[in-house]
Chain A
Amino acid sequence: EAGVTQFPSHSVIEKGQTVTLRCDPISGHDNLYWYRRVMGKEIKFLLHFVKESKQDESGMPNNRFLAERTGGTYSTLKVQPAELEDSGVYFCASSEGPTDTQYFGPGTRLTVL
């Protein structure tokens, strides 16, 4: 069974540009999560989708971040415009139910110059 996949694995952009990260969850997993780890800090929750609906977006840092999950399959996380402090590793995870084990993807390392 294929795990959670994320694309790209690395992205280097300049401040002010736009970047879109993609996550493909495990097939059949209705719940999809975005997390990020900035340098020296712990992994922090960004938001939680149940199918195509945003169940919890309490961790989204500001309105420069937009997450979508059209059709309840893959999800995208867009950062527009990117700022220096957005640099870090963005992880996606998925689970069958909201209380089930979350399986993580390999992450996207974002560097904003």
Chain B
Amino acid sequence: EDQVTQSPEALRLQEGESSSLNCSYTVSGLRGLFWYRQDPGKGPEFLFTLYSAGEEKEKERLKATLTKKESFLHITAPKPEDSATYLCAVRGPPGNTGKLIFGQGTTLQVKP
């Protein structure tokens, strides 16, 4: 069964304290791994798509990487405005169409 597991569930950082969020996945035939950011009361906001092992993408203080079994979201020198829930999702094999399978998310709090 296709599955996505994120860790930790919650993470508290001081401003400037870099860290990484983990997303482990089990899917037969990965057709994309997606990172979203979700603020309270809002919908998920797209951050990155990764397709193959070794791929990396960056945006401001965020960098996403992908291996055959997991993805990491590295946050460098975070600021309080980076506080949010970060969601990882995978798209499954052909026949699965556009369906995304989500993890439970990691809630990040960055204190000034």
A interface with B by C-beta (< 8 Å): 4, 31, 33, 35, 41-45, 48, 55-56, 58-59, 91, 93, 95, 98-99, 101-107
Which residues of chain A have C-beta atoms less than 8 A from B45's C-beta?
104
Given A41-B104, A42-B105, A101-B49: A95 and B43 within 8 A (CB)?
Answer: no
Instruction: Point out the residues of chain A lying under 8 angstroms from B44, CB to CB.
Output: 43, 91, 104
Q: Are B43 and A91 in contact (CB under 8 A)?
A: yes
The reply to whether the CB of B12 lies closer than 8 angstroms to some CB of chain A is: no
Shortest CB–CB separation between residue A91 and chain B, in angstroms?
A: 6
Which residues of chain B come closer than 8 Å to A45, judged between CB atoms? Answer: 99-101
Q: Does B87 contact A (CB under 8 A)?
A: yes
Partner of A99, one of B31, B41, B42: B31
In the complex, which range does the number of interface residues on chain B fall in?
20 to 34
* Stretch among B13-21, B72-80, B90-98 lining the A interface: B90-98
User: Which one of B45, B91, B102, B103 has the highest number of Cβ atoms from chain A below 10 Å of its Cβ?
Assistant: B102
Please, how many angstroms separate the alpha-carbon atoms of A107 and B33 in the complex?
Answer: 22
Cβ of B107 to closest chain A Cβ, rounded Å? 13
Q: Which chain B residues numbered 52 to 104 have a C-beta less than 8 Å away from chain A?
A: 87, 89, 91, 96-104
Task: For the complex, give the distance between the alpha carbons of A42 and B36 in Å.
Answer: 13
Taking the closest CB of chain B, its distance from the CB of A103, in whole angstroms, is 6
Question: Within the complex, what minimum Cβ distance (angstroms) separates B65 from chain A?
Answer: 19
* In contact, A43 and B102 (Cβ under 8 angstroms): yes
With both beta carbons as reference points, the residue of chain B lying nearest to A58 in the complex is identified as: B99
Please indicate the chain A residues that have their CB under 8 angstroms from the CB of B99 in the complex. Answer: 33, 45, 48, 56, 58-59
Closest to A103 in B: B46
Q: Taking A101-B34, A104-B44 as given, write out 12 further A-B residue pairs in contact, using a Cβ cutoff of 8 Å, ordered by the A residue number.
A: A33-B99, A42-B4, A42-B105, A43-B44, A43-B102, A45-B101, A48-B97, A55-B97, A99-B98, A102-B34, A104-B46, A106-B42
Contacts of B101 in A (CB 8 A): 45
The docked-state distance in angstroms from the alpha carbon of A31 to that of B98 is 8
A6 to chain B, nearest CB (A): 8
